Amino acid sequence: MPTQQFAEAVAIMARLRAPGGCPWDREQTFDSIRKYTLEETYEVFDAIERRDWADLREELGDLLLQVLFYSEMAAEAGDFTISDVIEGLNRKLIRRHPHVFGDEAAAAAGNVAQGLETNGIDAIQVLRNWEQIKQLEKNAQVKDEEVAGRLDAVPRALPALAEATKLGSKAAKAGFDWPDVRGLFDKLQEEIGELEAELAEPEKHNASAVASEVGDLLFTAVNLARHLHVDPEFALRETNAKFRRRFAAMEAASVTPLEQLAPEALENLWNGAKEQERSAK
C-alpha cells in the first residue's frame, strides 16, 4: 500500500540523518541540497519529453527524496514535519477545488470560495477559480500594516525564464504591457540596436553594460513568447534538442574534424543537416 511504503521512506530518511546514519546525508543542509532539487526537477522534465516512463518513475522517486530530505531537516529543527507538509497540501487541494468538494471546500476556505462559479465549469474556469482563491489566500496573509507590491508574489528564486514570464504577466494585469505583439517586435529591434551600439566602440567596451543589454533583449523575447502563448522554457528546450540533433548530423556527415573546416564548409554541413531533418518529416 502507498501509505506503508511512504512511511517506510520517511523512516529510511530519518535513519540516514540520525546518529550512526550516513555521514554524507548527516552533513547536508537546506543550502547544500537545493541544487540537487533543481537538477532532479529538470530530469523529470527530460524523462517526460523522452516518453521514458520507466525513467520517469525513477526520477519522480528522486524528486520525492528531496521533499523527504527537506522535511526531515525541518523536523530536526522543530519547524515542521512531513505530516504537516501533506496536511497542508490536502487542505489546499480541497480548498481550491470547490467545484469538486463543495461544502467541504467552502468550510476549509471560509469566505474565500464564495461567489465562485462551481457548477458545470470547464478547465478554463477551474484555472480562474484556482488563481482567484490563491490570490485571496495571499491577501489574507498580508498584515494590514504591510503593503505588498504586485511583483512581490513572484519568487525571486525562480529560474530566470519563468521569473521573467511571471513578472510580465503580473505587470500586464496592472495595464503595463504592450498592446499587441507588433510592439514587442519593435521593442526587440530597439534592444538589438542598443546592444549593437554598446558593442560599436570596442575601446569603450563595458562588460557589465553589455550583459545588461543582453538581459533586456532576453526579457523582451520572453514577453514576446508570453504574448504568443508559448512557454519560453519548453520552447528553448525544444530548440536545444534540435540543435543537438543537427550538430550530431554535421559530425556524422563530415570526414574531417569540424574544427578543421572553414566557416563556409560548416555552414554547408549545417544546411545539409537541416534539409535532412526536413526530408525525414
**pLDDT tens across 13-39, in order?**
999 999 999 999 999 999 999 889 988
Q: What is the reported pLDDT for 145?
A: 37
Instruction: Indicate the pLDDT class of residue 159, thresholds 50, 70 and 90.
Output: confident
> Region 137-157: what's the mean pLDDT?
66
Tens of pLDDT along 262-280?
999 999 999 999 998 888 8
Tens of pLDDT along 203-261?
777 889 999 999 999 999 999 999 999 999 889 988 998 999 999 999 999 999 999 99
Q: What is the reported pLDDT for 108?
A: 54
Q: What is the reported pLDDT for 106?
A: 55
Is residue 135 within 8 A of residue 97, CB to CB? The reply is no
Residue with cell 464564495: 114
> Region 103-113: what's the mean pLDDT?
55
- 17/33 Cα distance (integer angstroms): 14
Instruction: Indicate the pLDDT class of residue 142, thresholds 50, 70 and 90.
Output: low
Q: What is the reported pLDDT for 155?
A: 81
Q: What is the reported pLDDT for 247?
A: 95
Is residue 116 within 8 A of residue 98, CB to CB? The reply is yes
Choice among 80-84, 148-152, 178-182 with the minimum mean pLDDT: 148-152
Instruction: Indicate the pLDDT class of residue 45, thresholds 50, 70 and 90.
Output: confident
Instruction: Indicate the pLDDT class of residue 148, thresholds 50, 70 and 90.
Output: low
> Region 78-92: what's the mean pLDDT?
93
| Domains annotated on the chain, with CATH | 2-80 (1.10.287.1080), 90-148 (no CATH), 160-230 (1.10.287.1080), 235-280 (no CATH)
Q: What is the reported pLDDT for 229?
A: 94
Judge whether residue 144 has pLDDT over 50.
no
Q: What is the reported pLDDT for 49?
A: 86
Handedness of CA 150, 155, 160, 162 (dihedral sign): negative
